[in-house]
Amino acid sequence: MSEAVLIRGRHVLTSAAPESYTDGAVRLSEGRITHVGAYRDLAARFPGHPVHGGPNDIVTPGFVNAHGHFSEALLAGMAEQYELNAWIRALIAPVAPHLRREDAYVGTLLAGIQMLHSGVTLVNDMFVCDPVGPEPVTPGVVQALDELGLRGVVAFGAGDARPGVERAALVREHEELERAAAASRLCRFRVGITVVSAQSPELFDQSVRMAVDGGHGAHLHLHEVREEAVEVRARHGSSAVEYCADRGLFDAPVLAAHCVWNSRRDMVLLAEHGVGVAHNPVANMVLGSGVCPLPELRELGVEVGIGVDGAASNDRQDMTEAIKATVLLQRVHHLRASAMSARDAFRMATIGGARALGMGAEVGSLEPGKAADVVVLDGDSPALANVHDPVQSVVYCAGPREVKEVWVDGRQVVAGGEAVSVRPADVVARSRDAAASLVRRSGLHDLSVLAGTGGPS
């Protein structure tokens, strides 16, 4: 069991009421937050507690990475010249049958370290692969998350549109991941649906039954690109959002990634059914997918979180970058500085993401009774030397180099800016062999094909 500690900061940002404490502290005990208040009061009340953080630091809730793909962790920096559908055909489809449990394990360690170093304490992941071998792939994700001490909502992104994929094998992969998550201290399972158009009606209905009757909830991509919206309407006579509502998926808790190409009716349906949305600004820009209508979604009451997305589409697994990009993309899109504020983005990265996942009562803010997921940003770093507004400093100034300490479930998982349970250098070395082997097995060894040319000269 973790020891009771005080975490001190010049600014403690709660994502709750009150919004902040100056020269404040948070007390952690037995994996929970027990007190939040003035440091002087808590230090007097608990004089024997070790004190972490410092008088110049900024303390925040752990960031919630609302959407990602550990299945892409070994594929960063490739295929930049494609929009989404072509990118899937050129990169994701060739790799999917060749992902193994070792790739899932090593890739999750590699990407998970980056997430921890950028203040993530909870990741909502969808591992996309075609399970064609005898060994289940996705339990490797849970194994790595447990070793890192990183909280996870894990899903297997199932689709039977590609040839050679058997529906029974997809169901077995779901079941194996569910078992692994049930045995984990920090992970829970959701049913993954890659995208409506990637599943036959039979598989989709089976996914709905697992999500609803099993009480697991679902994680899917929804209206990421215009082509998806057009294809689903042509095939089913309705939008993908309407299709999910009509076939009962929204009777379960659902997290929908992207939601860029929504009609007004789509957004109203998302709000009426309590569907959470994960906004992925960097990936949307990399793939040229479009701009999520955040103001309209939030005005309707949709809970929106921020996602880093996968390492093949972002490509950096850096939550601080995604938080800043959330603000900047809305401002340049609307040509208005008031389109989104730093406080909007900070709340989306913390309590907004937690609520989008239906976990707002457990994580996402610094309040007594919640899980002890806490981040300390180094107030003695050059980037945070002069803090005039702590929220703006977090959103616009802080990066991974400022993330000094991270606590998940009351246990310290980052100390002095480094993950404590694994040796990053060892993971990096191991990932090189795994990535090279995966690229070779997938037929992507001629990297020049995927490197992009920068366009005509």
For residue 435, give both structure tokens.
């990535």
Mean pLDDT of 81-91: 92
Q: In the predicted model, what is the mean pLDDT of the chain?
A: 95
Write out pLDDT tens, residues 127-148.
Answer: 999 998 889 999 999 999 999 9
DSSP 393: I
Specify the number of domains making up the chain: 2
User: Do residue 330 and residue 270 come from a single domain?
Assistant: yes
Write out pLDDT tens, residues 189-229.
Answer: 999 999 999 999 999 999 999 999 999 999 999 999 999 99
User: Do residue 37 and residue 145 come from a single domain?
Assistant: no
Boundary (domain end) residue, out of 320, 337, 356: 356
DSSP 4: P
Residue 80 placed within a domain: yes
pLDDT of residue 240: 97
Write out pLDDT tens, residues 231-280.
Answer: 999 999 999 999 999 999 999 999 999 999 999 999 999 999 999 999 99
User: Do residue 44 and residue 133 come from a single domain?
Assistant: no
pLDDT-derived band at 457 (thresholds 50, 70, 90) equals very low
pLDDT of residue 456: 31
Q: How far is CA 341 from the centre of its chain?
A: 21
Through-space distance between the first and last CA atoms of the chain, rounded to whole angstroms: 61
User: Do residue 205 and residue 154 come from a single domain?
Assistant: yes
Helix ranges, 34-138 (H): 39-45, 84-87, 93-95, 101-117
Residue at token pair 């919640």: 370
Mean pLDDT of 394-404: 98
User: Do residue 25 and residue 117 come from a single domain?
Assistant: no
Residue 440 placed within a domain: no
User: Do residue 283 and residue 344 come from a single domain?
Assistant: yes
For residue 124, give both structure tokens.
């909502």
User: Do residue 196 and residue 98 come from a single domain?
Assistant: yes
Q: Do 317 and 311 touch, CB atoms closer than 8 A?
A: yes
Q: Do 53 and 379 touch, CB atoms closer than 8 A?
A: no
- Rounded Cα distance between 219 and 221, Å, is 7
Residue at token pair 């792939």: 137
Q: Is residue 1's pLDDT more than 60? A: no
User: Do residue 264 and residue 139 come from a single domain?
Assistant: yes
Q: Is residue 450's pLDDT more than 50? A: no
Residue 316 placed within a domain: yes
pLDDT-derived band at 446 (thresholds 50, 70, 90) equals low
User: Do residue 77 and residue 49 come from a single domain?
Assistant: no
Write out pLDDT tens, residues 407-425.
Answer: 999 999 999 999 999 999 9
Residue 434 placed within a domain: no
pLDDT of residue 133: 84
Residue 454 placed within a domain: no
Write out pLDDT tens, residues 284-307.
Answer: 999 999 999 999 999 999 999 999
- Rounded Cα distance between 384 and 381, Å, is 5
User: Do residue 50 and residue 76 come from a single domain?
Assistant: no
pLDDT of residue 409: 98
Q: What angle do CA 319, 321, 324 make, to 5 degrees?
A: 110
For residue 138, give both structure tokens.
């996705």
**Which residues span the domain enclosing 52?**
5-62+365-419
User: Do residue 96 and residue 112 come from a single domain?
Assistant: yes
Q: What is the CATH number of the domain that holds 396?
A: 2.30.40.10
Q: Is residue 449's pLDDT more than 70? A: no
Boundary (domain end) residue, out of 356, 381, 409: 356
pLDDT of residue 164: 82
Residue 442 placed within a domain: no
Residue 449 placed within a domain: no
User: Do residue 103 and residue 25 come from a single domain?
Assistant: no
Write out pLDDT tens, residues 311-355.
Answer: 999 999 999 999 999 999 999 999 999 999 999 999 999 999 999
Q: Beta partners for 418?
A: 415
pLDDT > 90: percent of the chain:
94
Boundary (domain end) residue, out of 356, 379, 396: 356
Q: What is the CATH number of the domain that holds 299?
A: 3.20.20.140
Residue 430 placed within a domain: no
